[in-house]
Structure 1
Amino acid sequence: MGKNNNQAGRLGKLALALATAFAAGQAGAEEAVLDTVTVTANKPEIAPGQPDASTPSTVYQVSQENMRLFDTPGGTNPYTALAEVPGVKVTTADAYGLNNMQGGQKGLRVRGEVSTHGVAGTLEGLSLGGPGPGPGYLFLFDKENIARITFAQGAVSPDRPGLYNVYGAIDSHLLWPRATAQADVSYSAGSNNFRRSFARIDSGLLATGTSFFLSASDTSADKWRGEGDAPSNRRNVELAVQQTAGDLKIKLALAHNEQAQNNYKALTYAQATDLGNYRRYDYGSKSTTSDYYDYNRQDFTNQAALAEISYDFSPTTSLSIKPYYAKEEGYYLYAGTTATQVQKWLIDHTTYGIANELRTTLADTRFKLGYSWTSTEPPGPPTTRKQYSVVVGKLVFQQWALLSKVVDRYEFANTYLTAEHQFGKLQLSGGLRHAYQKLPGIDAYNAGAATAGASWDVSAEEALARAVKNPARSVASRDFASWLPQAGLSYQFNEAVEVHASLGKNIGAPSFDAFNQNLAGSITSSQQYWDQLKPETSTSLDIGARIRFADIYLDPTIYFSRSNNKAVSVFSSATNTVYSQNVGKTQGSGFQLAAGWKPYSSLQLFAALSFSRSTFRENVLTTAGAVLPVDGKQLPDVPKWMGNVGALWQHGGFSVAPVVQYVGPRWSTSNYDQRLDAYSTTDLTVSYGAKAGPGRWQLALAALNLFDRKYIGQVSTSEVNTSASGAIYYPGAPRTLVATLSLSL
C-alpha cells in the first residue's frame, strides 16, 4: 500500500511539473510568429510487422500504434514489439516484458538464430551497448517515446550496421519533439500488483526554432511466481531537444533508467513437463540457503546521451554526425554451485562512439558513405565476481571468484558504401561493409583462496590494486576484419505485383566466453583460447514478392542461409573438456508470409506464418570426444512452424484487437531427448476513446494469455546443449489483466 501511495505522490509531483512546463511552452508558442508548417503522412497499416516496400531487402516496421494495440503493456523492451513479425520468436519470463534475463540470451530468436552475448539492436542506428550480459538499452526508453521499430532480416544492408547482425538488425526510432505543444499522461494497473505511470510534455516549435520534450515513468510489479518484485521500481526520465537553424539541425537526447528486480528460477526438464505442479515453482523463502529469492536478484542503472548534427548542403546532399555515450552499472546476485554459495557478478562499463553518414545523388543514383566507431568496456566476457557464503541467514564475503581488469577496450569500426538506382520498373541496390573488431586486452589476477577473508571485501578497484597478476590467465588485444557485401533488386510488374531478392553476408560474435575457461591439457594460457576466436559469418539469400490488390496484401518470402564459425559448446582434444568455440557450421532455409485484408472500413485482419529449417551441417564432438550425430538435425529451441493471426475492429470510439500466436513443437537438446510441446496463446485489447475539451482520453483493457494456457516459453540454451538435468526452462506467464487510462492535451 505504501509503495502505491509513494508512486501516486511521485506522479502528482510529476504531473504538476509537466503542467507548469506545458503552460510555459504554450505561452511561448502563442507569442512566437511562426511560418505555416504543413505536415503530410500516409496512414500506416495497423497490422504489426508491416513489410517495408521501399527496399528490395526483407524489412518490417512496427509503428507506435501497433505497439499500443498488440504489444505487452510494460511500456519498454523493443523485442516484445516484434512478436508478430514473421520468423520471430520472442519469449519473456513475465507478461509485461519487464524481466531482464540474466546473461547473454534475452529471449529473441529469428529464423532459428539467437541473439547471443547480450542486448542486440540499435537506437537511431547507434549501438548504445556492446556485447555484455546487462539490460543495455532494452529498458532505457519508454515506448511512448518510440515512433517506430524497423527490423531487417536475411541479407542486411550495409547501412544498417550495428555490431552483429546474423539474426537481423533491429533499430528503434525516437519520437523526437513534436511541432505542436502537447501533454500526454497515462496510468496502468493490472495483475500481480502491476502499476505504471507515464507523462510526457512537448513544448512545440518555439520562435527560436527550438523544440523539446520531457518525459518520466515509474513502473512496478510483483513476480507472478514466487516471492519478490519484477521490477521493484523501474524509474525512467528522458529529455530530447531539437534546434533548427536553416539547413542545420541539431538533436540531443538524454535518458536515465533505474531498475531492480528479483530473478525467476529456471526449471529442469522434469519440472517443465509437469507444469500442473511446477508452473509457479520458484526460489524459496528461507534465507539459510542460496535458493533464497532475495539472494537471486539484480539492480542496474543505465544512462545514455546521443546527438545528431545534420546539415543539408543541397536538396540531394546531406551529412549527419551522431556522437553517443552510454553507461551501465549494477550487478547480478545468484545462487552458486553449492547450497550455501552465492555469487555477485559486478557490471560497470561504458560505451561511446560516433556514426557519420554522407548522402548524395549522382547520375540519378543515391549513394551513402558511412563510418561508425564504437568503444566498449567488458564485461562480455565477465571480469569481476564476488563470492559469498550463507551463514545464519546472512551473506558473508568469502573470496573473489573472478578478478580481472580491462587494459584495452573492445572496439568496432564499420565503413560502408551503398548505392541505389531506379531503371524504370527495376530497382537495383547494393553495397559493401568493412567490419573491424579489436578484442579487448584483459589482465587477470589471482582470485579464489588468494583473495579470501573479510579484508578483501572491498571494491573491485581496491582488490585489483592489492591482487597479484596472473600472466597465464591474461590476454592481449587482437583484431580481425571482415568484408560484407550485399546486393538487392526489385521489379515492379504492375501496381499490384512486385518481386524482390537480396543476397549478402552478415557477421556474428566471436565466442569470447572462452576467456574464463579453465586451463587444461595442452592449453597452458588463456591467450591460446583467445587466439582461436573468430567472428561468425553467414551468407543469406531472400527471394520474395509484394502483392497488393483491392484491400489485400500478401508478402511471401523464401530464404536460404549458411553459417560458419558459429559459437557452439563442443569437445576439445587439447583440453579434454567441452567449451564454447567458433567451429559450428549450420544452414537454414524456410518460408515466411505476412498477409492482411481489410474487408470493411472498420475491420482489418492480418496474419503471419513461418516455416524454418535451421540445421547443423556436420556432427560435433562432445564430452570425452564422443560424436554427437547432429548433422542435418534442427537446432535446439527452433520450432519448424510459427504463426499468428489477429484483427482490429473499430467503430466510433471503440476498438477491439485480438491476436492468437502459435509456436510449434521443438527440442531443447541436440541429442533430441527433451521435447517441448506446441502451444498457442490469445491476447485481447478492448479500448474506448473520446474527445475531452481540447484533448482526448482513452481507456484500454487488455487480457494477455486470455485462456490461461500452460506452456514453456523461454529456453536458455546454447546451440549445442546436451545437458540431461540442467535447469534452463521458463514457463510462460498465466492470464494477466491490465487497464490503462490515458489523456492527451
Structure 2
Amino acid sequence: MRRRRSCARLGGVALTLATLLAASSAGAQVASDPVETTEPAEIRVVGKPDPAGLLPDQRAPKAQSAISADFIVKQAPTLNAFQLVTLLPGANVASSDPYGLSTSSSLTLRGLGQDEIGVLMEGAPQNDIGYYYAYPSQFADPENLKRITLAQGSVDIDSPTLGGAGGLLSLTLDDPKARPQALADLSLGSYAARRGFFRIDSGTIGTTGLKAFLSYSNTRADNWRGAGYDTRQHVDAKLLDEWGAGNRASLALSYNDANSSSYPSPTLADWNAQGRGFNYDARYSEGNTNYWRLYRAPFRNLYASAPVHLVLNDRLALDTTTYLQFGYGNSPYGTQLTTTGNYLGTEKLAQPIALPGAVDGLATVLGNYTGDQMRTGNVSKLTLQAGRHKITAGLWFDYGTDRVTQSYISIDADGQPVDRWGYRAKAIRTADGRLLAYENQRTVTVTKGFFVADSIAVTPRLTVDAGFKGVDVLRNGRNYLPGPQDKVRKDSFAALPRAAIHYRLDDRQQLFANITTNFRTPNEFTLYNSYYGGELVAQGTNALKNEYSVSQEIGYRFIGEQLSASVTGFHYKFRNRQLATVIDQGGAQVNATLNAGGQTSYGIDAEIDYRPIAGVSLYLSGEYLHARIDDDLPVGADFLPTSGKRAVSSPTVQFGAGGTYDDGRVFGSIASKYIGRQYSSFMNDESIKGYATLDLSVGLHLAEWLDGKRTDLRVNAINVTDPHVLSGVQSVSTNAQDVIGRNGTVISGSAPAYYIGSGAAVMATLSRAF
C-alpha cells in the first residue's frame, strides 16, 4: 500500500496532553452515564432545565450531546432515533421516508458510517453482530424515551459494542411512574398515515416496591413515493425495583413487528433521468421483477435488557447488564430462474428444478435475503472508591449466531409471494430436495473482553483518567454451498488503551481532552466465498486486516443559567479503514468490504443553546470536517490515485438550527439542518450537492380548558420545503468514471447509488393522559 505522510495539525495538542497523562498513573473514564464520571462532590449545578431538551448538562471528558424528553415530545411520534438526533453536531442523517418507517436510512458521524457507530438501548447493544448496522425503526417508541445521548467520538470503556470509532448512540427508557396512570396518542397524517399508541403504568405495586409500564403502538402509512405501504406494531415494557441507598434493578423489553418498504436507490444517471419517479412498479405483469410487492421487508425482533446496580458498601458497587436478542427478517427482491442450467455453489445441477408458473422454462420468483439471529451477553463491572481513586474493573462476554440464506420463493399469477418471510421450509428446492440458494451460511461470533480503569481526583477541580480494554472476537462459520469452502474461522484480538483529563475552571466552565483507540474486525460476509454461474466471483478470506483508529479530542464546555455551549476539536488517524458497499460481480450483487487504507480526519464540532426568557430556547450546532484518504487504493494489479482525495460521505460543513417555545398553553418548535456536498467515490469523480431540511411543529396544552389532566394537540410539518434532492450515499464505489491507474491500466468505473430525500408530510397528534 502506498502511503503518504499526514499532518496531525489539530490533534497534536490533544495527543501530546493525553500521552503525558497516560504516562502518569492516571485514571480512565469508565461509566456510560455521565453522572457517574468522576467529578468533585462539591460541584454546584448553576444551570436550569432546558425547555428545548437539546443541550442537557454534560460533565464527561469527551464530546457528548443529548436530547431529552422535553424535545422528543414535540416531534412527530413516528420519527426514529436517527431522525431525532439530526440537529446535533456531526450527525448526518439520510432518510428515505418522512416517517422513519423504512429501513432505507443511514447515519454518519464525523464522516463515519452507522456500521462504525455503537448503539445501546438500556445498556444492551443494538448493532447487528455480523454487519454492525443498527436499524432505528426497530427501536423503542419515542413516547417511552427519557433521553438519547450521542457521543460523537468514542464509546465508553464499559460499552458492550464492537467498533465505535464513529461514536455511541445511547437510548434510555423512561422509568415506570410511581402512580397508576395511562397515556394514549392518536395520530393522522399525510399519505394515509395513522398511528395509535397506548401506555399504562402500574404505579408502585403493593408493598413490593416494583413499578412497571407496558405500551403498544400500531402504525400504517402509504409510501410517500411509488406504490406500497408500511406497517409497524411495537411493544415496550419495563419493570423496575429500587431499594436501599441506590440499589436498582430493572428489566426492559422491546418487541417490533414490521413490514417495511425498501425504496429503490438510484444511480446519478437514474436520478437525472427520472428523479422521484424512480420507483418500483405499481402493477404486476408476467416477467416483471420490479413489482413493489417483491420488495417489502418483514422483520420481527425482540430485545431484552436487565441492568442491575448494587451498592455493596460505602466504597464498592457492582453494575451488571444481561441482554438477549432474537431477530428474523427478509430483505427480498424480484428475480428470475430457469428450470435448467442452474448451479448450487460450484455444482451444476443435472436435473431440472420445478418452478411453479414457469413459461418456456422461465419463472419470476421472489429472491430472499433472510437473516435469523440470536444474541446474548453480559457486561459486569466493580467500582471501588479508594480515596482519590475510582478504580473500575469489568468483563464482557457476548455470544451470537447468524444464519444467512439467499433462497427463492415462488409467486402467484398476481405477483403475490407464496411466503413473504422466505422460510426455508417453503423455498424452492432442487430435484433431490436440497435448498436452492445463492448464499447459505451460519456464523457463530464469540466476543470476550476485559477492562480496567482508574479515575483520580488530583485536585477538587482536576480529574485524570486512564484505562485499558482488551477485546477478542472469534468467528466460526460454515458455508453450506457445494464448493471448495466448508468451514471458516477468524480470531482477532485488540488492545485498546485510553486516557482523558477533565478540568473545572469554575462552576460554569470545563476543559477536557482525551485520546481513545478503537478497532473493528471485518464483517462476517468477508469470510465466505460467493459463487455465480458456478464460478467463484468473490473470494472469502480471513486475511483482511482489522481496522484500527486513534482519536483525540480537546474541548471547552460552558453551562450557564441562560446560555450553554460546547466546542470540541477532534483528530482521527485510521489504519485499514473499512467501508461496506455492494459490488456487481458477473451480474450478481455481492456485499463487499473495501480496505481504504489510511485516513486522516480532523475538525471542529460546536453547539450553543440560548434561553433568553422562560419558555424560549434557541439552538445552533455546526461542524467543520477535513477527511482525507492517505493511500492509493489497490484495484487488481494496479492502484487508483486516491491519496489526498476527500473521504466518501464526509461533508466538509454542516449546520443545524432549532428553537422551541412553550408558555404552558401554546408550544412549538422549529428545526433546520444543512448538509454540505458529499463525495460517493474514492476518486471524487461523483458527488451529491448540499441540501437543507426544515421541520415545524405547533401545539396546544388543553389541560386547563378541560379537566386538568394532560391533553395536548400538536401538528408536525416534516421537511416543509420539500427539496428534491439526493440525501445520502447508499453504496460507494472506487471510481465512478474510467480512470488510468498508477501503473497505466484502465480501471473501469462503476456507479454509486443514493438515497432519495424524503418528501414533505404533515401529522396531527392528540395526546391524552388518564
**TM-score, normalising length: structure 2:** 0.80
1:601 alignment partner, one of 589, 604, 614: 614
Corresponding residue of 1:278: 275
C-alpha change, 1:621 and 1:533, in structure 2 (3 Å) is closer
The corresponding residue for 2:740 is none
Mapped to 1, the partners of 2:528 and 2:736 lie a distance apart of: 21
Residue correspondence of structure 1 range 588-737 to structure 2 within 5 A: 588-622=601-635, 624-691=636-703, 692-718=706-732, 720=734, 722=736, 726=751, 728-737=753-762
Q: Residues of 1 paired with 2:677 and 2:212: CA distance?
A: 48
Partner letter of residue 366 of structure 1? K
Distance 1:120 1:270 in 2: 34
Q: How does 1:454-473 map to 2 (within 5 A)?
A: 470=483, 472-473=484-485
Matches within 5 A, 1:295-374: 295-336=294-335, 340=364, 342-374=366-398
The CA deviation at 1:49 is 4.8
Residue-by-residue CA offset, 1:627-677 (whole Å, 9 max, x unaligned): 222111111222111011111122241112111110111222222232211
Match of 1:411 among 446, 470, 475: 446
2:189 and 2:439 map into 1 onto residues whose CA distance is 43
Secondary structure class of the residue paired with 1:716:
strand
1:100-499 correspondence to structure 2 within 5 Å: 100-101=103-104, 106-116=105-115, 120-132=118-130, 138-206=137-205, 207-229=207-229, 231=230, 233-246=231-244, 249-273=248-272, 277-287=274-284, 288=286, 289-336=288-335, 340=364, 342-379=366-403, 383-387=404-408, 394=415, 397=428, 400-406=436-442, 409-422=444-457, 423-446=459-482, 470=483, 472-499=484-511
Shift of 1:444: 2.5
**How big is each residue's C-alpha offset from its partner over 1:151-209, in whole Å with a ceiling of 9 and x where there is no partner?**
22224331234222011111111212122222111111111111111111111123221
Equivalent AA in structure 1 for residue 97 of structure 2: D
Alpha-carbon distance in structure 2 between the residues aligned to 1:132 and 1:48: 34
Q: Indicate the percent of aligned positions where both proteins have the same amino acid.
A: 23
More helix by share: 1
Bigger Cα displacement from structure 2, 705-714 vs 337-346: 337-346
Deviation at 1:254, TM superposition (A): 2.4
Distance 2:210 2:661 in 1: 39
Native 8 Å contact 2:736 2:751 kept in 1:
no
* CA separation of 1:245 and 1:604: change in aligned 2, threshold 3 A: closer
Q: What does the per-residue CA deviation read over 1:263-297, in whole Å, with 9 as the maximum and x for residues that have no partner?
A: 211112023245xx521431012423110111111
Aligned partner of 1:703: which letter? A
Cα distance change, pair 530–626 in 1 and its aligned pair in 2 (3 A):
closer
C-alpha displacement of 1:532 = 0.7
Q: How many residues align?
A: 660
TM-aligned CA distance change 1:705 to 1:363, over 3 Å: same
Give the Cα–Cα distance (whole angstroms) in 2 for the partners of residues 551 and 244 of structure 1.
34
Q: Structure 2 CA distance, aligned partners of 1:257 and 1:174?
A: 16
> Do the aligned partners of residues 578 and 357 (structure 1) sit closer, same or farther apart at CA in structure 2, a change above 3 Å counting?
closer
Cα distance in 2 between the residues matched to 1:265 and 1:65 = 35
Distance of aligned partners of 1:525 and 1:417 in 2 relative to their CA distance in 1, 3 Å threshold = farther
Once the two structures are superposed, the pairs formed by residues 493-512 of structure 1 within 5 Å of their partners are 493-512=505-524
Matched AA of 1:204: G
Distance 1:565 1:519, change over 3 A: farther
- Structure 1 partner of 2:341: none
Aligned to 1:86: 89
Larger relative contact order, structure 1 or 2 (CA cutoff 8 Å, min sep 6): 2
Asked whether the equivalents of residues 411 and 438 of structure 1 are also in contact (C-alpha less than 8 Å), the reply is: yes
Q: Distance in 1 between matches of 2:682 and 2:191?
A: 36
- CA shift, 1:136, in A, is 5.3
RMSD between superposed Cα atoms in Å:
3.1
3-state DSSP of counterpart to 2:598: strand
Q: For 1:265, what is the secondary structure of its paired residue? A: coil
Instruction: Please list every run of 5 or more consecutive structure 2 residues that lacks an aligned counterpart in the other structure.
Output: 1-44, 338-362, 419-427, 431-435, 738-748
Summarize the Cα distance change of 1:562–1:196 in structure 2 as closer, same or farther, 3 Å threshold: same
What letter is aligned with 1:358?
L
Instruction: State how far apart, in whole Å, the 2-side matches of 1:324 and 1:64 are.
Output: 25
User: For 1:121, what is the secondary structure of its paired residue?
Assistant: strand
Q: Secondary structure at the match of 2:228?
A: coil
CA deviation after TM superposition for structure 1 residue 626, in Å: 3.7
Aligned to 1:585: 598
Q: TM-score, normalised by structure 1?
A: 0.82
Deviation of the 1:571 alpha carbon: 14
Q: Deviations over 1:592-635 (max 9, x none)?
A: 1111212222321110000111121111122x434222111111
- Tell me the equivalent position of 2:556: 545
8 Å CA contact retained: 1:656, 1:686: yes
Q: Is 1:54 aligned to 2:75, yes or no?
A: no
Change over 3 Å in CA distance of 1:80–1:579 after alignment to 2? closer
Give 3-state SS (helix, strand or coil) of 1:309's partner: strand
Secondary structure in 2 aligned to 1:69? Answer: coil
For the 8 Å contact 2:52–2:70, the answer to whether it is kept is: no
Mapped pair 1:63 → 2:68 = yes
What is the CA-CA distance between 1:427 and the residue it aligns to? 1.9
Per-residue CA deviations over 1:564-601 (Å, capped at 9, x if unaligned) read 122248999xx9x9953546211111111111212222
Q: In structure 2, do the counterparts of structure 1 residues 635 and 50 end up closer, same or farther at CA, with 3 Å as the change threshold?
A: same
1:25 is matched with none
Could you report, residue by residue, the CA deviation over 1:71-110 in whole angstroms, capped at 9, with x for unpaired residues? Answer: x5315x3222221110110111101111113xxxx50101
Aligned to 1:15: none
Q: Shift of residue 366 of structure 1?
A: 2.1
Q: CA deviation at 1:128?
A: 4.2
CA separation of 1:550 and 1:696: change in aligned 2, threshold 3 A: closer
* 1:219-254 Cα distance to aligned partner (Å, 9 max, x none): 11110011111x2x2111222222345465432222
Cα distance in 1, alignment partners of residues 336 and 392 from structure 2: 52
Distance (Å, rounded) in 1 between the aligned partners of 2:323 and 2:136: 13
